[in-house]
Each structure stands twice: as C-alpha cells, then as structure tokens.
C-alpha cells in the first residue's frame, strides 16, 4: 500500500498514535486535522472510522495503462509523466469563458519505455476564472505532472481534453539535509535558518509514486463540490493505514511507504485484529469469501478490479447473513412471548366469523378463505401471531382483517384497527358497522378514535376503550397516544404498515395491562416481490392475496403526453360523459399550490407520508444529481389544475372539490361525503386519496406529472377506481422526454396490472430502500450493499446457513463478533426487524 496525504488529511503522528488506541468506533474529529473535511464527512453520515470504511465506492475505475505519448491511441485511456513546456489562458470569443492550453513533453518518461519523447497539448475549458487560474498554477512552466486521460486528434496534433492531473514535487525538492517534510499536508517546505521560505503542496513526491497511484484501479465515491472522490479515497486509505498500526508515510520517504513482505504480513495481521471478522469462519470458507479486513482493503485500495469486486461480494454476503440472523432471532423472541388465545368458539354454537362470512353479499376468493383459516389457527395459540398480509389493491384485505377482529371479539377481547388517515379511518368504521350489524346481540360496538374529534366525544371513546369491553376500535395515529388505553386488547391490525414507525407499533403492543402481547396483523397494498418480503419481513408469516373479488374489471390505462392537446381534449370529453352517466373522477396533482404564493404554501401535505417536500409535493424517487441540476418543469398544483379544468367547455356546470392533507378533519369528511354522493363529482387532490379510499362510483383517475411518481404509488392510485364493478380508466399525464427512462417507467404501468411485476420493476429502477421506506429498510444505515432483487439467491443461502447456525447456537455464544453485529443492526434498524 502506498499512501500520500494532502491538504491536512490526517493529523495523527507516531507520538499521538502511541498514546491513543485507534478502533472502528474512534470519531474522525480526533483523527483529522482538517475540520472542514470533518464537517463535510459528517454531512455524508461519516462520523467514525467504521462509518468511513462502510462508505462504499459506487464503482471502480479500470486501471489506466502507462504509455508514452508516441504510444497514444485515440479514444483509449492512458497515463504518462511529463514536464510542462508552455501554459497560457485565452478568453473565448465565441462564448463566455476561458480556454487553458498547456504543452507538455514526456522525454524523460518516454526514455524509461525505450521510446523517443514527444509533445502533446492539454486543453481545459471553464467559465470560472478561478478554476483556470488554479489549473494554470498547477501547470506552470517547468512543472512535473502525471497526465491521465483519453487522447484525441485536433488539427493534426495530439490533444487531451480535461485530463486528470497529478502534480509531482520537483526533483531538487526531495527531502534532504536542511529540508523538512509535512506529513499532514503532503507539502514540502524549503527551510533556511529559522523560517521557511515557501511551502508548496504536491499530489506525489516522485514520478514512480504518482504513476502507481494513477494507474491502479481507483474506487469512485459519491462526492460533492466540497469534497472530491479522490480526497474521500485518500482519507479512508489513511484510516486503514492507521488501523494497521503504521504511521503515516511522509512524502519523500519511500523506504517507509513501500512495505517489505515482513512489513506486509505484520500490517495485515494488525489490521485483522482491528477489524475482526463477523462471518463464522466455516461460512466464510465454504463461500470462498475474504476476511473482513481484507475485504475493506480490497474495496478502498484495490490491487485489481477483480479484488475490488471480491471485496464487495464478501461484505454484501456479510450484510445478508447479519440481517437474516437478526430476523430469525426476532422470530424466536416473538415465539416466546405470551398472548391471549382466541379460539373463536362461540357459545351460540355457530362461530361469529362463519356467520360473518355467510352474511357477505359475495363469495370469498380461495385466497381469502385460506388466509382467514391461517389467521384463525395463529390466533388460537398462546403466543402472538405475527403475520403480514399483502394483497393487490381491491383484493379484499379488509374483509380478512375484519374476520380476524371478530375472532378476537368472540373470544371476549378487544381488537384495534389503525389506519394512516382520517378519511380511511372513518371509512373503515362506517363499513365495519354496516358489515357487523345483526351478527350478534347485543350489537358489536365499533368505536372511532381520531385526533380531530371534539374533546367530549374523544373522552367518551377513550373511556369505552379503557373499559375493556369486547369490541372493535378503529383509530388513526391517536391510538399511539398515552391517553388511549385498551386494557383488554388481543389483536392489533395495522393498515398500510409502511405509514407507521416502530415506536408507535411498540406502544400498541404494550397497551394490555396484564403483560400479554397482542396478536399482530399488518397489511399492505404496496406490492413487494416475494424475495424482498422474505428479506424485509423475515420475522413474520407472510400471506398473499393475488385474486381479485368477482365483478372487478381490469382498469384500462393510458399514458398521454401533456403537449398532445387533441388527446387531452378527448380525455376530458370522455370524463364528462362518465360523469353524466353518474360516475366520479379523481384528478391527482403532485403539489398543493405554488410555494412562491406565500408563507402558508410551505405547509406539508401531512397525509402523504411518502417523503414529500414541505408543500406536499411528490419528490421524484428516481431523481439523480444530474436531474436535480437540470431545470425541470414545475409540478402542477391542485389549485392550478382546478382553475384550469373549470374553464374548459367539457366541464361547464360541473362542481369541483379539492382535498389535501392541509385540510382540517371536518373538511375532509365533508368533501369525501359530497364526492361519494355526487354533489361534487370531480375531486382534485394530492395523493391523500392514495390508500383505502373506496368510492364505488369512481371510474376515472387522472394523474398529472405521472413521470415524477414511483411505480408502486401509481399502481396504488390507479386502484382507487373501478371498485364498483364498472368499466374504469386511468390516464397518466406526462411531460417525460421521448425515449427517456421516465417514459419507459410509465410503460411498465401501461402494460401491466400485476402488482408483483410492477414492484419488481420499481425495485430495479430505484432500489429497495425507497420502495419500502428508508426507516424500515435500513438502506441508510446497516444495509448498503444488499440488493433484494439481484441478490435473491444469496439471501436464500444466507438464511439457510443462519438457520443451521442458530439451531446449534441460538444465543450466538460461539460467534461473539456476529452477536455484536446483530445487536448493532437491531438497534439501528428496529423498524426493519418489526416489519415497519
């Protein structure tokens, strides 16, 4: 390993190293002298040595072959050492900015390759005078540089446009008697008498060192204008060096920088002690993986591209093994808790659940019947059920959940259904009251609790819950408050599980005063591929509802370019015809109103829960840094679209309503009632209507700026129509460029109604962390390399090996490092482990 530190990277010298132990937990602030760099690293989430080592590069640059200028091949990357013969800056006449042109001569370097020397031109363009002045300083006449880039030919001359430049200290500036080196800054200070005459920083001390550094495979990190990838790489390699027990090599001391075989062996051993292995040795050997310390070194200072990928593969498997071990342990822990068995054997002879099923005006699907049977068996046990119910939009999850709640009620307990929005909670409460009416005498109490209720009504609802009377409670986030006490709680049903945090879930599980743990049923209509579900919800039993109830017709989906005025007009005429036929239409916008229209425009659309911005605007889940840098069209707003549509001749005489998360609870309730009754048959809203809203007459869904939404979210929104058995349509209005990735994403929705297929495409487009929610996926903390779609086989293998290991050693007494990693993972990813 060769390391040259620049710009005040590491401040630890041998004297301080002796008095301080360096470990993975050591804060970077105690190691780095450059406080600006410490601050920038902190903004990346890097505050300790471990954070730095797990800040993985997103790719590795291929090795650059060393070639003399005469060996150059246009279009092929190369690197060479040269001396600058001329450098000048010229203003560009045709456009604003500057052109820097330097002529370099590689005679000395070419001689080492038995080639005659030659000249080449280096060209840089910039609109910033500061940049070209800085580059001109680096390329001053007589400077020695390493040039890395791709040659081209311009007007008969060899030219390198914007090559990478590494400066090399002058030969006469090598440290000698009367000269001192600064190991922290990479500079060489020429000293005379008491004070230094001048100080200059260089990227390398010798040509050999510079060429080795430039030509090796280089990891490339996500960086910023404040901290380049090269500086991040430099910092991390320096930390590895320190963990290996070696002082920073000072520029010009190559006898220290180049390690002997004995030094290398000692360094490797010390590094392995500082970075102990986590994977059991048997697993690592069987899989042919590196030691953890070796893997970090191969990733951050790779000797070859192959070594880099081997290091990534090792730590990716480590992540899979840790998370699967943690999930399996969590499953074991859940099995040890006690719960109220709800056998569901009614005193009347015929069980309540069976009477409920018989009373339904439709036939349950085979899938619904099987899940109800599975839940019945789970809840009959004296340990808590932990089950995830995943189903397509409209697949009948609510009926299954109600059957489970009735089983708890018949056993003499309470059941609570928690919904993420007021609109959905009120709708659940009304539907449940209708469905259980007449099933039992006296009637089964259904209590609604929301944060927006008047004080007297809320106190009455809380008193009913606290009494322990068997019944069904439907609540919003108010169920997580300390005022809510359900003392006889046996079942918790979470609707749209991704909307809730782990602390909220735990607060419900602690409600019973007898120390029991309620059975738990979490539901989601957000389609998750089976492999992803196994990874993120491995501590739960998973049920899928794949069939749609009878009478549901496929939703016809169209992608429309907003600039296609004729098609847009035809769409609006079609919607008017459906409204005249007694149907309803949703118009969904990504933003409430223009943020420039006043202070109140900053209010959040609180019911979105999708990582939206302060104005309720959907944030493009696929956006890249390049996208952010471009001027993208402003998002359409609810208020803008409402005004625009009201002026169209197609909607003359039609009443419009708006609904956003900013509206008060009583307003939301009235708006939805008017929409359902047909008083206002067109509803312009944000994604507040994304989940659970059920208006059977709704047949048309229009989504503006559809290219800025996630695929799963579009699928959810589309599922709001066609719920009454009528023909239904979804119109995705887009401003995506033809042939763009955004256009190809919309084609996925256009071509498929299969939620699993759409979810897999969503994962492939943007990764599991965004699809499932960062807080539940751990993608921003412990899991950084694992890919739940592409690594499916690896995850299955890790789970299988973890199961065998835990069967022999349930408490991991023989795998201390793994036990610690699992504990750290659990603490950092509680939502992951509880399937948030």
Residue 701 pLDDT: 96
pLDDT band, residue 743 (cuts 50/70/90): confident
Distance CA 730, CA 788 (A): 30
- Is residue 409 packed enough to be buried (19+ CB in 10 Å), middle (13-18) or exposed (0-12)? buried
Listed residues 209, 242, 264: the one ending a domain: 209
- Whether residue 629 has pLDDT greater than 90: no
518 falls within a domain: yes
DSSP character at residue 152: E
More confident residue, 185 or 574: 574
Helix (H) or strand (E) holding 154: strand 151-154
pLDDT at 376: 93
Note whether 683 and 565 are same-domain residues. Answer: yes
Assign residue 461 the CATH number of its domain.
3.40.50.300
Please check the confidence at residue 821 and state whether its pLDDT lies above 80: yes
The predicted structure's pLDDT at residue 774: 34
Which residue in this structure is represented by tokens 């006889």? Answer: 488
Please indicate, yes or no, if residue 94 is contained in any of the structural domains: yes
pLDDT at 434 over 70: yes
Asked if the model's pLDDT at residue 144 lies above 90, the reply is yes
Domain annotation covers residue 359: no
The number of angstroms, rounded, from the C-alpha of 363 to the middle of its chain's C-alpha atoms is 40
Q: Which residues are within 8 A (CB) of 590 and not within 5 positions of it... i.e. 6 or more apart? A: 617, 618, 635, 636, 686, 687, 704, 705, 708, 709
Partners of 121 in the beta sheet? Answer: 103, 159
Percent of the chain at pLDDT > 90 equals: 41
**pTM given for the model:** 0.61
Each residue's pLDDT tens digit, 368-423: 999 999 999 999 998 889 888 887 666 788 899 999 999 999 999 999 999 887 87
Q: What pLDDT, on the 0 to 100 scale, is given for residue 613? A: 40
Count Cβ atoms below 10 Å from residue 547 Cβ, excluding itself.
Answer: 16
Q: Does residue 188 carry a pLDDT above 90?
A: no
> Cβ(523)–Cβ(493) under 8 Å?
yes
The whole-number pLDDT of residue 632 equals 66
Residues 6+ apart with CB under 8 A from 681: 579, 583, 584, 585, 654, 655, 675
Dist CA 593 CA 684 (whole Å): 12
- Of 774, 609, 765, nearest in space to 691 by CA: 609
Q: Clarify whether residues 571 and 442 are in a common domain.
A: no
Helices (DSSP H) in 451-541: which residue ranges?
455-467, 502-509, 530-536
Task: Assess if residue 821 is contained within a domain.
Answer: no
Cβ-Cβ contacts under 8 Å for 807 (sequence gap 6 or more): none
Domain boundary among 752, 780, 795: 752
Q: Is residue 487 part of a domain?
A: yes
> What is the Cα–Cα distance from 188 to 539, expressed in whole angstroms?
58
Q: Which of 66-80, 125-139, 611-625 has the lowest mean pLDDT?
A: 611-625
- Indicate the helix (H) or strand (E) that contains 153: strand 151-154
Which pLDDT tens digit goes with each residue over 284-320? 999 999 999 999 999 999 988 999 999 999 999 999 9
CATH assignment of the domain containing 148: 2.40.50.140
pLDDT value at residue 344: 60
pLDDT one-digit tens code per residue, 438-497: 887 788 999 999 887 888 998 999 999 899 899 999 998 888 787 888 889 999 998 865
Q: Specify the higher pLDDT residue, 720 or 594.
A: 720
Q: What is the dihedral of CA 222, 223, 229, 232, to 10 degrees?
A: -100
Domain identity same for 539 and 607: no
Sequence-ordered list of residues with C-beta below 8 angstroms from that of 312, at least 6 positions apart, any chain: 56, 295, 299, 785
- Is pLDDT at 249 greater than 50 in this prediction? no
**Each residue's pLDDT tens digit, 446-458:** 999 988 788 899 8
Q: What is the DSSP string of 57-117?
A: -SEEEPPPPB--GGG--TTS-EEEEEEEEEEEEEE-SSSSSEEEEEEEE-HHHHHHTT---
Give the domain extent around 451: 387-545
Same domain, 89 and 200: yes
- pLDDT of amino acid 704: 96
In a domain, 679, yes or no: yes
Mean pLDDT of 655-682: 90
Examine residue 34 and state whether it is found in any structural domain, yes or no. Answer: no
Is residue 600 predicted with pLDDT exceeding 60? Answer: no
Q: What span, in angstroms and rounded, lies between the C-alpha atoms of 43 and 24?
A: 19
What secondary structure does DSSP assign to 204-242, as a single string? BSSHHHHHHHHHS-EEE----SSS-HHHHHHHHHHHHHH
> Which residue reads 């359409």 in tokens?
636
Q: Are 279 and 817 in contact (CB under 8 A)?
A: no
Question: What average pLDDT does range 675-679 have in this prediction?
Answer: 93
Task: Tell me whether strands 728-734 and 698-703 are parallel, antiparallel or unpaired.
Answer: parallel
Q: Are 704 and 677 in contact (CB under 8 A)?
A: no
Q: Does one domain contain both 615 and 700? A: yes
The more confidently predicted of residues 182 and 694 is 694
Residues 6+ apart with CB under 8 A from 180: 189, 191, 196
SS3 332: helix
Residue 221 lies in a domain: no
Residue 126, pLDDT score = 87
Q: What is the pLDDT of residue 335?
A: 66
| 629 and 737 belong to one structural domain | yes
Are the C-beta atoms of residues 766 and 779 closer than 8 Å to each other? Answer: no
Report the distance separating Cα 146 and Cα 446, nearest Å: 76
pLDDT bucket at 609, cuts 50 / 70 / 90: very low
651, 607: one domain: yes
Question: For 708-728, what is the mean pLDDT?
Answer: 85
Give yes or no: residues 674 and 616 share one domain: yes
Does pLDDT of 41 surpass 70?
yes
| 757-811 per-position pLDDT tens digit | 777 777 666 554 433 333 333 333 457 888 766 787 898 899 999 999 999 999 9
Residue-averaged pLDDT of the chain:
80
Contact partners, residue 85, CB within 8 Å, separation at least 6 = 103, 104, 105, 119, 141
pLDDT of residue 173: 52
Q: Select from 709, 724, 752 the last residue of a domain.
A: 752
Q: What integer is the mean pLDDT of 722-732?
A: 88
Q: Do 458 and 538 lie in a common domain?
A: yes
What is the count of structural domains for the chain? 3
Are both 597 and 691 inside the same structural domain? yes
Q: Are residues 456 and 504 in the same domain?
A: yes
Other Cβ atoms closer than 10 A to 152:
14
Question: Do residues 571 and 496 both lie within one domain?
Answer: no
The conformational region for residue 163 under phi > 0 = left, psi -120 to 50 = alpha, else beta, is: beta
């Amino acid at each position: 390993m060769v390391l040259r530190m620049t710009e005040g990277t590491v401040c630890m010298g041998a004297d301080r190293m002796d008095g301080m132990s360096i470990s993975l937990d050591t804060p970077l602030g105690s190691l780095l002298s450059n406080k600006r760099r410490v601050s920038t690293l902190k903004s990346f989430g890097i505050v300790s040595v471990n954070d730095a080592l797990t800040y993985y590069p997103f790719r590795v640059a291929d090795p650059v072959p060393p070639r003399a200028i005469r060996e150059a091949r246009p279009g092929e990357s190369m690197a060479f050492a040269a001396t600058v013969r001329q450098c000048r800056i010229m203003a560009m006449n045709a456009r604003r900015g500057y052109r820097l042109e330097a002529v370099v001569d590689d005679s000395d370097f070419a001689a080492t390759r038995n080639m005659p020397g030659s000249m080449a031109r280096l060209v840089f363009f910039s609109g910033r005078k500061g940049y070209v002045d800085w580059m001109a300083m680096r390329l001053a006449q007589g400077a020695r540089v390493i040039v890395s880039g791709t040659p081209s030919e311009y007007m008969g001359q060899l030219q390198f446009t914007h090559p990478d430049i590494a400066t090399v200290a002058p030969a006469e500036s090598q440290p000698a008697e009367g000269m001192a080196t600064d190991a922290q800054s990479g500079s060489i200070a020429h000293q005379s008498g008491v004070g230094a005459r001048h100080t200059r920083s260089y990227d390398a001390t010798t040509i050999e060192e510079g060429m080795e550094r430039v030509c090796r495979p280089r990891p490339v990190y996500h960086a910023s204008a404040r901290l380049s990838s090269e500086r991040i790489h430099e910092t991390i390699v320096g930390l590895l060096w320190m963990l290996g027990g070696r002082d920073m090599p000072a520029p010009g001391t190559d006898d220290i920088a180049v390690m002997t075989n004995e030094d290398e062996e000692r360094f490797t051993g010390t590094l392995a002690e500082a970075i102990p292995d986590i994977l059991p040795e048997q697993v690592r050997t069987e899989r042919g993986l590196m030691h953890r310390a070796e893997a970090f070194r191969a990733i951050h200072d790779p000797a070859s591209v192959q070594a880099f990928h081997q290091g990534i593969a090792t730590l990716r498997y480590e992540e899979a093994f840790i998370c699967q071990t943690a999930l399996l342990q969590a499953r074991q822990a859940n099995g040890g808790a006690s719960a109220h068995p709800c056998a569901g054997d009614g005193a009347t002879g015929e069980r309540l659940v069976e009477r409920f099923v018989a009373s339904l005006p439709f036939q349950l699907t085979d899938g619904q019947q099987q899940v109800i049977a599975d839940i019945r068996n789970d809840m009959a046990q004296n340990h808590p059920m932990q089950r995830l119910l995943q189903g397509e939009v409209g697949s009948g999850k609510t009926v299954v959940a109600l059957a489970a709640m009735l089983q708890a009620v018949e056993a003499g307990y309470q059941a609570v259904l928690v919904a993420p929005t007021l609109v959905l909670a009120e709708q659940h409460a009304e539907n449940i009251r209708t469905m259980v009416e007449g099933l039992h005498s006296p009637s089964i109490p259904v209590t609604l609790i929301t944060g927006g209720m008047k004080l007297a009504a809320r106190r009455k609802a809380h008193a009913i819950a606290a009494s322990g009377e068997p019944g069904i409670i439907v609540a919003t986030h108010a169920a997580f408050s300390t005022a809510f006490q359900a003392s006889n709680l046996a079942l918790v049903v979470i609707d749209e599980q991704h909307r809730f945090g782990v602390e909220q879930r735990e607060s419900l599980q602690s409600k019973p005063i007898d120390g029991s743990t309620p059975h738990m049923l979490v539901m989601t209509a957000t389609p998750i591929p089976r492999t992803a579900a196994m990874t993120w919800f491995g501590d739960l039993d998973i049920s899928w509802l794949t069939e749609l109830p009878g009478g549901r017709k496929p939703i016809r989906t169209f992608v429309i370019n907003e600039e296609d005025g004729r098609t847009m007009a035809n769409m609006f005429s079609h919607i008017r015809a459906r409204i005249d036929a007694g149907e309803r239409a949703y118009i969904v916008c990504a933003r409430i109103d223009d943020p420039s229209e006043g202070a109140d425009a900053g209010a959040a659309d609180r019911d979105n829960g999708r990582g939206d911005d302060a104005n309720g605007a959907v944030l493009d889940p696929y956006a890249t840094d390049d996208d952010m840098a471009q001027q993208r069209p402003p998002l359409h707003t609810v208020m803008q679209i409402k005004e625009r549509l009201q002026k169209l001749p197609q909607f003359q005489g039609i009443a419009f309503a708006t609904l956003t998360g900013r509206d008060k609870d009583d307003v939301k309730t009235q708006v939805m009632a008017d929409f359902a009754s047909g008083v206002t048959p067109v509803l312009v809203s944000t994604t507040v209507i994304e989940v659970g809203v059920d208006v059977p007459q709704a047949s048309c869904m229009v989504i503006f700026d559809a290219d800025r939404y996630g695929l799963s979210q579009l699928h959810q929104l589309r599922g709001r129509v066609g719920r009454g058995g009528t023909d239904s349509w979804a119109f995705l209005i887009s401003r995506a460029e033809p042939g763009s990735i955004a256009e190809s994403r919309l084609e996925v929705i256009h071509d498929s109604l299969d939620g699993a297929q759409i979810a897999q495409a969503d994962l492939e487009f943007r990764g599991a962390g965004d699809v499932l929610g960062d807080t539940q996926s751990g993608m921003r903390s412990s899991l950084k390399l694992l890919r739940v779609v592409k690594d499916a086989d690896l995850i299955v293998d890790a789970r299988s090996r973890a199961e065998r290991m835990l069967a022999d050693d349930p408490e991991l007494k023989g795998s201390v490092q793994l036990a610690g990693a699992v504990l750290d993972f659990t603490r950092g990813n509680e939502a992951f482990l509880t399937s948030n």
